[in-house]
A and B are shown apart, each in its own frame.
Chain A
Amino acid sequence: MKTHQLVAMFAVMALAATLTADGATVRKSDREGLWRVESDAIRFDVDAARGARIASLVFKPVGKESVYDGGGFCLDHFWEQSWPGEFLDAPYTVAVAQPAPGTVVVTATRISTGRWADAPPAPMSNLVLTRRMTLEDGKPWITVDIAIANTNTATKMFGFWAQQCFNPAAVQQGVTYFRPGDVGIAAEQETSAYRHTPGPPEVCYVKHPVAGWTATVDSQAQTGFVFLMDYGDMSWLYNCVGMSTTEWMYERAVLPPGKTWRTQYVIRPFAGLTSVAHAGSNSIVALAPAEKPDALDVKFSLLRSTADVTGGTLKVEIVNLITGAKFAAPDFRFDALTEQPIEHTVTRPGPLLQQVVVRAELSFTRADGSTAQEKFEYFYGGRLDFSGKNLRLDMTPIYIIPSPPRQRRYLKPDLIALVPHDGFNVVWVQGMFYDRYGIDGALRRIPGASAIESVPYGGLLSEGLKDFPMSYDEMLRQDVVVLADAAATAFDDATAERLKDFVEAGGGLLVFGGPWSLGKGGYRGTKVGKLLPVETVGAGDFRLAPAALRLEKRDSVLAGLPWAEQPRCYVIQEVKPRDGVEIWLRCGDYPAMIAGKVGKGRVAVVSLVPMGDPGANEMPWWNWPHWPEALAKCLQWLAGKETL
């Protein structure tokens, strides 16, 4: 036992009650900064001196200490700092309150230094981190509210990361982590293979979560913890398998001065389940398929979560992922959810010959009369090829579980206006054929031009933009954003909102066609798509159009170039110009360059695709010597600097 544990133990023995009431209590120990909070179901200690962590936690129905030596709940981090970061063992200011009988609130506060390892300190310094932990009688969970306030005059950036280090029943071996990923529940177990060594990344990370929960379960003891968090802000789920941690990271927050980033998570211990397939505010569900020679049984176990559910219905559909055959089970009606699981088994006739997905839809009636729904999907491959994994022969998933849309919150500055600056600033988002659009040549022709090169990160499957301006400060200093074959889905909501604000404030936006752009880029109906002067026509919008480019609008900035040389196009994306926009170029009958205005800004679409096999003596538009000049004129127009 380490020194700090001994100190904690003796301190707790000498607890002196400072706040008492009916039900939940909080007591301060003789040791400065150590508080014990206790309800009818949970008892935990908060150690202010060690990151205000929950240094001890007992879920009374199980009666075991969950926190192992050196572990704890509610460990705060910024992921840019890597572990352990500045907060882990830093002292916090802790205040306790009892706002109502049976309710205790512990508030821990610390001002960040921003300093840790190689992480740049400025973006993360002088932030006020407040963590409020609430425990109530009759509610066997801890509600944790995080608030990070920027009281500075500059924009701040950080990625919050919550870490929980524990074993549900004080035993590491056999603990299983259940995480909802897009290829199914990622269940990883603590075994001797990873003992005391972190498992490999593919074991530890779930980089495409499809819901805001994660669960840590001791199947043998039939107990575990579910953590419910805000899916809208969450980025990755993580368990350091081998080291018994449960963690998750949030999207990086860009925090303008005077704004506060907030999130909430719930620590919900439970007993009676050996796995978790779904968790929401209304239910915690375990699901256990069992193969029989002539049938597939799927057993559901439903447990109360944090809402008072008085009854509901479970609908189940089992879909064969290879043949598409569907089996719909009769609805199952259940009464109030409690701490004791309600069990129900669905039987699908026929042996398991192909992989299936189990789709479950839960409808709830709550004590306050309101209704709610929760849905989830569960991939099951039994013992089919590749050990039942969600894999085809080519190692791609057989089935991707759809990710629900994320509801993000935007933290904007109060005033959004372009910032005067020297030069010509471009953000160049670079898709696969980024160097075929002549952008380099165009920038060389614009005095003072420079570009931030941003790439969609992660390749084929990931979505996101690396090096795209993260703050409004930086965004509003740009002249034009160029999307060279970038999908709209590369923009997370916050970035798309920032781009929209930039254009409406007077910035320019140029979007090129490409195999990941326009209709293929999923622009329709998105924030970015709504900025365009065109409507896209759907995913199948490539058109083989071997024709010469033709100047349509003779008084546009493109006039004066030798279009008679007939640079040729081979592939174009069909778009429908919106009312009131200008068509500057055509390829055959297809609009090829379309320009319009949004707010104070200007937007152009070049629907040309730099693909095709030019014949002898043909001049593809991307090799036409005057194309960079045309593009430079377009960029200058977009920036409102066409007279330069």
Chain B
Amino acid sequence: MFERTMTMPGVQGLRLALAGILCAVGLTAQAADLPALAAGKELLPGWKEKVQLADDAAAQSGKALVLALTTETGKETSKAYWNYTLNGQLTRAPVVTLAPFHRYRAWVRLRVKPNVGSSSSIVLYMSTDGTDYNPNVTWRNVAHYYGFQFAQANVYQELSADFVTGEKGTVIPEVRVINMGPEPDGFKMGTGELTEIALDSIRFEDLTPELAVTQVRTDKGNYRRHEPKSAMIAVRNFGTTPRRAELRVTLHADLADVESLLRRDIELQPGQEQRFDMPIKTTAEFGYELRAELVADGKPLDARSDIFTVADNVYKIQMVTSKGPSAPSAFCWSGAVDMRRVPELVEAGRAGYGNFYEFFAWPPDDGLDFVPKGDKWWAGQNGYPGSKSNLKGIIAELHKHGIKAIFYAAWWSNGTGIETFRKHPDWFLYDDDTGRGGGCDIEAYKQAKKLIAEGKEGEGLQKSGGGAAPNWADPRVVDAGLDSMRESIRMFGWDGVRWDGEYQMTYLWDKMDIHGRKVKDLYKDMDETNTRILRQIIERFRREEPQFVWGYNNEMNPRMWGTNPPKAQAYKLKQGGSLMWESPRTANEAMNPNHTFGEYSTNTCEMADYCRERGGYFMQFPAGAGWVGTVHDRIYKTIIPVVAGSTVYGNSAWLGDSIGQYNKFIARYCSLWWDDKVRSVHQPERFLKVEGSGPIWWKDYVDARPAGWGKRDLIIHLVNEPVNKVIGPEVTGRMPAIQTNVRVALDRQAGGRVQQAWWLSPEPDAVCQPVDVVREGAADTVVVPRLQCWSVVVLRVAGAKW
């Protein structure tokens, strides 16, 4: 466990009564004064009538709040993804006043029928400052029981959620249920008994030790290597007597690198808080844990930690977590952003270990105009609203946390590109057949002009959906785009660009220039032309914006190219570019080549190897219907890219927090998957053997890296075979059975001698611990104690023969 919770004196048990009917057991005097929880008063619109206060013999008080799935309530859900499942708010309590800044565990007693072993999804929200409902700002979904499996049907069971109170100590608890159905998997409306969920009590357990580390916080979540780094540690005495202890602050990197930053004896008076600010001097890349511990008499009292990442090129370690600002639409259309929300959203993104935010479809023209002239504009793609002042503010907020702001660009020209086309018709290309250039929806164009003339709209005519085809083979045109990008970098502080296909001629090869000359006749070699364009771009960036990074989106098909990829692909990878692979986006469709988890895994490994071996980075688009899917799919769609070597371009594994801390784990140990030195080991079964109680995927997921002194690390990812065979929204959310004592054996003759070994896993919390190496016959063997979905074994091997 990273954040160890110590047993502490003074636990305050607290039970709430629900409308005086959910009578609490062991009700304290404090609780008796609390306002009663109401059934329905505060429910989300439409759910007020659906939650009933009902007699329930199994409830502690004889009554419970009950939400039953009927075909009526079921229809409220999104049928496209969840066939008539239960989805709603069970209760929302009024304000409860607890102690400020304390750590609490909320215990929520629920009964569910008939979901024995189901993957019902229960969310516990806590408004930790007691303010009114606002899902994006003041509320924290403190626990997601996605994939939760009730031990018995119709028997009350307690779920817990940990949280820290704010300055006021006020809390509003809320319980929601999502996508719960009657079938055993809980995901489909079938012939089974309809679901019912009942709540009979909520109680709070104070977990705060008397002497506690209340904050460990680096100033940013992500840094460049030589960027100044600092941290703040806070400790507090919650007790009634003076307390003494030693504060130990350490910095942990890779597997077992530890640096001591501070050891100091402290003494705190009751209620006193002490803060420590300290620089962090590290320039090595990848993931770190900053850890603060309080020790007294050789015994640990409390500990807390924070995670951060370091890299000069964010594409090397990029994580878009679909949480907070990384949620696709949160910031892209800056004109629609409520700036009051921004700090909390960015904070949420950082809490999800995000270090990269891509502003999609934002510029006045995706190809040639990244500099809005006025404060308001419409994006060239889809006409999304933009605001210069908002965008600057958002990026500044992201930068406070080290989250890199990446802008989207494309090879086409749209929006204000119509005006660029009008002004510079010789910069553009024309249809080879008809000779036409440019185009737009004239009615929309007219309407936009009219509104602009009346002062009702922002700059640009982007809503007309118009566009034109720039001739990127003309260096003047590339320079015009780069000029605009450069000015935009100055204006907004962008850290990098991610092209939807870079400036290239691939899709323009059949066109003609303004003189009617065919592109293919003029430039002859498309690959050479594309490479020349890339060279112009990269050399200019290197010269003028040395810290700027770039990525692309390309159709990639290594099987087609074999060992002879296009020069442009090789060039962009060699220059440290990141390639996004978008094909898995439709993996939920049967015809997609990544539709089964097996195909998806094989292809992802192949793509990642292809990029890594050529010096670039690989970034995979979230597989299958974007960000939806059962918790099972969400987790595997996060794990598989990473074990293959891909960075994370949007995942929602954080929804599986009740199963594992995936993003935290990926960020902390990213040196094991994203270091340039990590390379795949092919056919590892030559010298490795993995044995578990069930099927385990591992042969495609074995990597190696140098470990110094002639040793090599063998990094073996163990993936518990997915329950679902295909990627799709309408499949089970059931998780695979946990495997214990999985044996990993290295044949000494064929593979080398294991000198050290570690076991790492994100489940249930990120863990990295040394494991014993046992010599058994001709093999060195380690035993993995637990495999839920993903574990990693690292063997440090001398005399490696692979």
Contacts and interface: CB of A to CB of B under 8 A. Distances in A.
A354 B507 contact: no
Contact of A544 (B426, B438, B465, B593): B426
Given A393-B553, A455-B446, A544-B514, A487 B423 contact: no
Interface stretch (B144-152, B429-437, B543-551): B429-437
B423 A539 contact: no
Nearest to B582: A393
Given A393-B555, A520-B430, A611-B425, A456 B442 contact: yes
Given A387-B592, A539-B430, A432 B440 contact: yes
A516 interface: yes
B437 A515 contact: yes
Interface in B498-516: 500-501, 507, 512, 514-516
A386 B595 CA distance: 11
B437 A520 contact: yes
A386 B584 CA distance: 8
A540 B465 CA distance: 25
Contact of A541 (B83, B442, B516): B516
Nearest to B554: A393
Mostly helix, strand, loop or mixed at chain A's interface? loop
B586 interface: yes
Interface in B452-492: 464-467
Interface string A413-456: 00000000000000000111111100000000000000000011
A384 B464 CA distance: 32
A520 B555 contact: no
Given A393-B555, A434-B442, A613 B431 contact: no
Given A609-B425, A611-B422, A612-B425, A383 B434 contact: no
Contact of B434 (A386, A431, A539, A612): A539
B72 interface: no
B589 interface: yes
A466 interface: yes
Given A383-B593, A387-B586, A539 B426 contact: no
A193 B80 contact: yes
Nearest to B443: A455
A383 B512 contact: no
Contact of B583 (A385, A466, A515): A385
B501 A432 contact: no
B418 interface: yes
Mostly helix, strand, loop or mixed at chain B's interface? loop
A611 B591 CA distance: 46
A353 B425 contact: no
B426 A459 contact: no
Interface residues of B, number: 56
Contact of A393 (B445, B500, B586, B590): B500
Contacts of B423: 611-613
A430 B434 contact: no
Nearest to A574: B516
A432 B593 contact: no
A431 B442 contact: yes
B299 interface: no
A164 B789 CA distance: 52
Nearest to A613: B423
A519 interface: yes
B560 interface: yes
Contacts of A431: 442
A516 B439 contact: yes
B507 A394 contact: yes
Interface in A546-602: 571
B187 interface: no
A357 B17 CA distance: 69
A382 B559 CA distance: 15
A538 to B, nearest CB: 7
B424 interface: yes
Contacts of A521: 434, 436
B637 to A, nearest CB: 17
A559 to B, nearest CB: 31
Interface of A: 192-193, 353-354, 382-388, 392-394, 396, 430-436, 455-460, 466, 487, 489, 515-516, 519-522, 538-544, 571, 609-613
Given A392-B507, A393-B555, 19 more contacts: A353-B559, A383-B591, A383-B592, A384-B557, A387-B591, A393-B554, A432-B439, A433-B422, A455-B446, A457-B442, A516-B436, A521-B434, A539-B512, A539-B516, A540-B516, A541-B516, A543-B515, A544-B514, A613-B423
30 contacts: A192-B83, A383-B593, A385-B583, A385-B593, A387-B586, A387-B590, A393-B555, A394-B411, A431-B442, A435-B449, A455-B442, A459-B439, A459-B444, A466-B443, A487-B436, A515-B421, A515-B425, A515-B430, A516-B438, A516-B439, A520-B430, A520-B431, A521-B436, A538-B435, A538-B516, A542-B515, A544-B515, A611-B422, A611-B423, A612-B423
